[in-house]
Amino acid sequence: MINKRSAIISVMFVLCLSMLAACGNTSQDDQRASQPPPAPTTQPTQPPHVQPPHRKVPVDPTPRPDPQPGATPTPGNPNPNPGGLQVAVNQASYSRTDAISITISNGLGQTIYLTTPRTSCTLAQLQMLVNGNWTPVGRCVNISATPTRQLVASGTMNQTIQPQNAFGVLHSVSSWQPGTYRVSVTYTTTYDPDTVGGGQQATSPTFTIT
């Protein structure tokens, strides 16, 4: 009888312990369920890189030197007789055997007279610069050459000077001497130059013979 009672008490004791253990587990589960879940750990986010708006930077043009006040371009070979009798040659440089073509233009507004045949029996005199002085070169040896010719206002006249020596002799070996030259033309405003005290002179731009 006692053993049976002891067995019943043991069983009841074991059941009580099981119930207590179950209650403890249930309370722990309730505590876990009641606690908020841990916040997830996140890496700090970097703000997105925003590129500044593109701005055009004005670029100064290449600096250039300003022209000097009042400076004007100088022509390479100006005509020495602006507005008057114009004497022009067809080239700025010649070889020693070249013929020299000359154009005479009357810009005086009146008729003029060209006198005394000169180099190569033309109405133009070739001059060479020697020691700072303009020296005549060539002459006319044809006694039948016309001494005076008329050139009306705004008219033109062409002349050609052939290579010759200082005495005016023309032959196959004649050639100019190298140097600086110009052409001069003597003219008057009347047919008789003595009535006006002689003629006036117009010259061409200088040129070279090499």
Q: Give residue 181's pLDDT.
A: 97
User: Using one digit for the tens of pLDDT, what is the confidence trace for 56-107?
Assistant: 544 444 334 333 333 333 334 555 665 689 999 999 999 999 999 999 999 9
What percent of the chain clears pLDDT 90, i.e. is strictly above it? 38
Give pLDDT tens digits for 148-177.
Answer: 899 999 999 999 998 876 555 554 457 899
Which amino acid is it at 83?
Answer: G
131: alpha, beta or left, given left = phi > 0 and alpha = psi -120 to 50?
Answer: left
The count of other CB atoms within 10 Å of the CB of residue 112 is 24
- Write down the pLDDT at residue 1: 56
Mean pLDDT of the chain, nearest integer: 74
Mean pLDDT of 129-134: 96
What's the rounded Cα separation, in Å, for the pair 6 and 118?
Answer: 172
Could you tell me the two tokens for 23?
Answer: 């209650």
pLDDT reading at 145 higher than 70: no
- Give the contacts of 157 (CB within 8 A, at least 6 positions apart): 103, 104, 114, 123, 149, 151
pTM of the model: 0.58
Q: What is the pLDDT of residue 158?
A: 96
pLDDT tens figures, 10-29: 767 767 676 766 555 555 55
Q: What is the pLDDT of residue 187?
A: 92
CA–CA distance, 15 with 9 (Å, rounded to integer): 10
- Gap between the Cα atoms of 160 and 102, Å rounded: 6
Tokens of 120: 């190569």
Q: 36 or 160, which is more confident?
A: 160
Judge whether residue 136 has pLDDT over 90. yes
Q: Using 50, 70 and 90 to split pLDDT, how confident is the model at 191?
A: confident
The correct answer on CATH 2.60.40 for the domain covering 85-209 is yes
What are the residue boundaries of the structural domains of the chain, listed by start?
85-209
